[in-house]
Amino acid sequence: EVVLTQSPGTLSLSPGERATLSCRASQSVFNNLLAWYQQKPGQAPRLLIHDASIRTTGIPDRFSGSGSGTDFTLTISRLEPEDFAVYYCQQYETSPMFTFGQGTKLEIK
Amino acid sequence: QVQLQQSGPGLVKPSQTLSLTCVISGDSVSSNTFAWNWIRQSPSRGLEWLGRTYYRSKWYNEYAVSVRSRIIISPDTSRNQFSLHLNSVTPEDKAVYYCGRGQHNAIDVWGQGTTVTVSS
């Protein structure tokens, strides 16, 4: 089973700043099938990025994903007030299918 | 626009079966493109994928190892919905349960979530 470790646990930044979130896998992610989600309190997660770097329809271009193998990054180029939330990475493998990281909380400094 | 509407009890007794339903609008449970998933979230376990059902000329079901012995996910084509049945629940199964549509090996549409407590 691939284990995903996200860092940092909490990131404190100000609107307008750049955010860099990391997701490291315990072994290579199959075909770089790595996704990123945003979750706000009381809401379901929202898919931002799939296949490591492809933005889902409707996601602003300030969100970008990169990486391959075991190291992946979600970058938010200029933080907007609505971007402060918890972010999760998720990978797909043939068994046990989907696993998620523990999350990074992005909070307002 | 695809929407998923969850229903089911928020309280289940220990050792009994947790049953939730997810009604699909704007898409079909029999789609040859998508898969229909259940995921749960708790403070202790984080986000945990439970399983999925999908149709590719025939029906397939795949389950997480952690719950494989006590889970059934079943489609209902007449009602365009799918259901989760998790038996022999314990307090460890307390969580927010989500249904979701799978595409690109990710979950691109989510239900609203159902908070389930296990207590007598």
Task: Note the pLDDT tens digit of each residue in A81-92.
Answer: 999 999 999 999
- Work out the widest C-alpha separation in chain A, in whole angstroms: 40
pLDDT band at residue B104 using 50, 70 and 90 as cut-offs: confident
User: Mean pLDDT across chain A, nearest whole number?
Assistant: 95
**CA-based nearest distance A50→chain B, Å:** 7
Taking 3-state DSSP, the helix, strand and coil percentages for chain B, each rounded to the nearest 5, stand at: 10, 60, 35
* Other Cβ atoms within 10 Å of B120 Cβ, number: 9
Name B106's bridge partners. Answer: B103
Looking at residue A97, its pLDDT comes to 81
The beta-carbon neighbor of A45 closest among B48, B66, B110 is B110
Q: By the 8 A CB rule, do A18 and A11 touch?
A: no
- Looking at the complex, report in whole angstroms how far the Cα of residue B28 sits from the nearest Cα belonging to chain A: 20
Q: Which residues of chain B neighbour A95 with C-beta distances below 8 Å?
A: 65
Distance CA B107, CA B120 (A): 33
Q: What's the pLDDT at A10?
A: 98
A26: tokens are 């315990």
Chain A nearest CA to B16, separation (Å): 25
**Banded pLDDT at A96 (limits 50, 70, 90):** low
Among A33, A50, A98, beta carbon nearest to B49: A98
CA proximity to B85, closest of B53, B55, B57, B110: B53
For A57, the closest chain B residue by CA position comes to B108
Segment A18-67, tens digit of pLDDT: 999 999 999 999 899 999 999 999 999 999 999 999 999 999 999 999 99
Q: Which residues of A touch B100 (CB under 8 A)?
A: 44
Residue in the block written with tokens 């990391």: A22
Say whether A47 and B108 touch across the interface (CB within 8 A): yes
Q: Yes or no: say if A83 and A72 are a contact pair by the CB < 8 Å rule.
A: no
The two tokens of residue A48 are 């931002």
pLDDT, residue A95, reads 67
pLDDT value for A106? 98
Segment B23-41 shows an average pLDDT of: 97
Segment B59-73 mean pLDDT: 95
* Total beta-carbon pairs less than 8 A apart between chain A and chain B: 59
Host H or E run for residue A105? strand A104-108
Contacts B66 to A, Cβ<8 Å: 96
Mean pLDDT over residues B6-18, rounded? Answer: 97
CA distances from B42 to A85, B39, B47 (A): 17, 10, 7
The residues, ordered by sequence, that sit 6+ positions from A43 with a Cβ below 8 Å of its Cβ are none
Whether B117 has a pLDDT exceeding 70, the answer reads yes
CB contact under 8 A, A100 and B105: no
Q: Are B88 and B30 in contact (CB under 8 A)?
A: no
- Chain B residues with CB under 8 Å of A53 CB are none
Strand, helix or coil for residue B69:
helix
Give A87's contacts in chain B (Cβ within 8 Å).
none
Neighbouring residues of A73: CB distance < 8 A, sequence distance ≥ 6: A20, A21, A22, A23, A65, A66, A67
Compute CA distances B104 → A11, A55, A98, B28, B108, whole Å: 28, 11, 12, 17, 8
